[in-house]
Amino acid sequence: MRVRLLDLAHARSGDKGDTANVGVIALKPEWYPLLARELTVERVAMHFRGVITGGVQRYELPNLKALNFLLHGALDGGGTLSLKTDAQGKVFSTAMLRMVLDVPDAEATSLGLPAAP
């Protein structure tokens, strides 16, 4: 079943220099293991291909049911150097949530995941 990340998580993003951070937080605690399994460094790097110029780092916060991603080379130099509208990475959060996951039907049903429209 195809499931939108938007329906599984909420998120907030910010900046440190030319790096954007995106914190992805499971909307239900029981959905966190799925996010931790699916949102790999490779998957997120693929998602942001053509958007960022550097690599991706990932940290787990099971206590907050959250993952933190650092997206390097995301902000055209960042801070005052950047010419981008989103120079401080404020909306990388919702850009991340555009991701759509393929979840096995049985798992999606048992977790009560909403299907992508």
Partner 1 sequence: MKSLVRVASGQGFWGDWLEAPRRQVEGGDVDYLMLDYLAEVTMSILQKQKERDPRMGYARDFIGAIESVLPGIVERGVKVIANAGGVNPRACADALLALADQKGVRGKLALGVVTGDDLLPRLDELIAQGHPLANMDTGEPLSLVRDRVLSANAYIGSGPIIEALGKGANIVVTGRSTDTALTMAPLRYEFGWGAGDWDKLAAGIIAGHIIECGAQCSGGNCLKDWATIPDVWNIGYPIVDARPDGTFEICKHPHTGGRIDVPTVTEQLVYEMGDPHSYITPDVVADFTSIQLEPAGENRVRVFGVKGRPPTDKLKVSIAYRAGYKAVGTLVYAWPDALAKAKAADQVLRRRLEYLGLTFDTIVTEFVGANATHGPLAGAPSDAPEVQLRVGVRGQDKAMVERFTRELIPMVLNGPPSVTGFAAGRPKVEEIVAYWPALIDKTVVTPQVEVVR
116 is a site residue for partner 1 (CB under 8 A): no
Interaction mask 8-37, partner 1, x per CB under 8 A: --xxxxxxxxx--x-x-x-x----------
- Closest to 7 measured CA to CA, from 103, 84, 74: 103
DSSP 58-91: EEEEGGGTEEEEEETT-STT-TTT--STTTT-TT
Nearer to partner 1 (CB atom), residue 64 or residue 109 = 64
Q: Is 29 exposed, middle or buried (0-12, 13-18, 19+ CB in 10 A)?
A: exposed
95 is a site residue for partner 1 (CB under 8 A): yes
- Footprint of partner 1 on this chain (CB under 8 A)? 10-18, 21, 23, 25, 27, 47-48, 50-51, 59-66, 68, 70, 76-81, 83-86, 91, 93-95, 98
